[in-house]
Amino acid sequence: MQTGPRKVEQAMMTKRSGWFLAIVLALAVLMAGCGAGPNTEDPDEDVESAPVQTGPSVVSVTGVVVPSEEATLSFTVSGEVAELVVEAGDEVEAGDVIARLDTTLLDLDVAQAEAAVVVAEANLARALAGPSEQEITEQEANIAASSASTGAEAAERDDLFPSDIEIERAEIALQQAFITRLDARIFRDYVEGVEENPDDYSRYERFALPGLIDEAQEDFAIADAEWEIAYERLQDLLDGPDPNELAAANADVGAAAADLAASQARLDELLTLPLPEDIAVSEAAVESARVSLIRAELARDQAVLVSPFSGTISDVFIQASQYVNVGEPIILMADIANLRIETTDLNEIDVARIDVGSEAIITFDALPSVEVEGEVISIAPRVDEGVGVNFKVIIEVGEAMPEGVRWGMTAFVDIVVED
């Protein structure tokens, strides 16, 4: 930028000299045509013409004063504004808090995610440690209990089948009942015979007859019933257990045996722990829980709006306690401490004549007496959207922007180009 003023001054002086020389020549021609006499000089004589100076020219465009950075800030989560820290005109530094949303629910999400991480890590630690002595002891006790239960159910089922001793005792009881019944029948037949044929018996037998008939008949009925019972008992023993009772007993034995097998399988499984696949599953659960925690923390962090750069709060679009949606404009801020010029009407012909680094002279519509130097720092790679074919060029002022220049003011720019 040291040589900028000289080049621009030279360009402007050259431009003024060209204009002045053109005016002088025009006046001379006019005067020669009006008052001079006939030319007596040889027309073939060569006439020396005055040399015309040439130099750099300029591209003149209009621009607007803009901040070096500007942004419309918004939240990436919805919620109620719990705190609005700034107001229009405030200066903020990069990272300063601008607004906060209510994070009550987000805090609960974080707490829940933290608890899930603790549980997942505990499960992983348990998987890595394998079974404890207490777990093995408890499972061995379960096996013993299941074994005892299976034995008891099997014993109850076996009790449904008669033993040889039971059958033998039932046969003896049936024989004794048969003998008793036979004796009772003989005695009954005897007293009934005395009653029917008294002449065939002695006087003493006839004398004892009253009362014996009823007693003999009753004894025979009792003996006969006992014989029937003994007979049915023996038949039941010989027929075996009731099919329904046996089926139920077998089912109980099967259930007890299944419990025993399950307990034994669980013990065998404990003795093989930890399994690699179990560890992998537990590690994946830990990783998933940690990712969920990070997401919950990020969501909570997004409820705090911070300044992305140092600048000035230009406008505030919300109020405290207002509910805002994702992407809703909250704050307009800009770095107005570093203003620059952005062209608005640089056409496609002139843009081809300038380069990044080209020097420029800048004046302002609102400050006609102010003139500053600048430099082209960027040229848009594509046409700017709008009316006409125009390209946006950014010009940075070499020194501090003059006092009184404001965002949005109109600027006139002469960019020095080499023809």
Residue-level pLDDT at 204: 52
Q: Are 86 and 313 in contact (CB under 8 A)?
A: yes
Sort strands 371-379 and 410-417 into parallel, antiparallel or unpaired: unpaired
Identity of the residue numbered 185 = R
What is the structure's pLDDT at 203?
A: 52
- Amino acid 43: pLDDT: 44
According to the model, what pLDDT value does residue 354 have?
A: 94
How much is the pLDDT for 40?
Answer: 42
pTM above 0.75, yes or no: no
Q: Can you tell me the distance from the alpha carbon of 96 to that of 22, in angstroms, rounded to the nearest whole number? A: 62
106/75 Cα distance (integer angstroms): 14
Can you give the three-state secondary structure of the chain, one letter per residue?
CCCHHHHHHHHHHHHHHHHHHHHHHHHHHHHHHHHCCCCCCCCCCCCCCCCCCCCCEEEEEEEEEEECCEEEEECCCCEEEEEECCCCCCEECCCCEEEEECCHHHHHHHHHHHHHHHHHHHHHHHHHHCCCHHHHHHHHHHHHHHHHHHHHHHHHHHHCCCCHHHHHHHHHHHHHHHHHHHHHHHHHHHHHHHHHCHHHCCHHHHHCCCCHHHHHHHHHHHHHHHHHHHHHHHHHHHHCCCHHHHHHHHHHHHHHHHHHHHHHHHHHHHHHCCCHHHHHHHHHHHHHHHHHHHHHHHHHHCCEEECCCCEEEEEECCCCCCEECCCCEEEEEECCCCEEEEECCEEHHHHCCCCCCCEEEEEECCCCCCEEEEEEEEECCCCECCCCCEECEEEEECCCCCCCCCCCCEEEEEEEECC
Q: Mean pLDDT for each 10-residue chunk of the chain (419 residues)? A: 40 39 43 44 46 69 94 94 94 95 94 96 88 86 92 88 88 93 88 71 58 82 93 88 87 91 87 83 95 95 94 93 93 93 93 94 92 94 84 90 92 90
Q: CA-CA distances (angstroms) from residue 396 to 10, 98, 265, 291?
A: 22, 29, 80, 45
Q: Which pLDDT does position 29 carry in this prediction?
A: 40
Per-residue model confidence (pLDDT) at position 236: 86
Q: Which residues pair with 395 in a beta bridge?
A: 341, 376
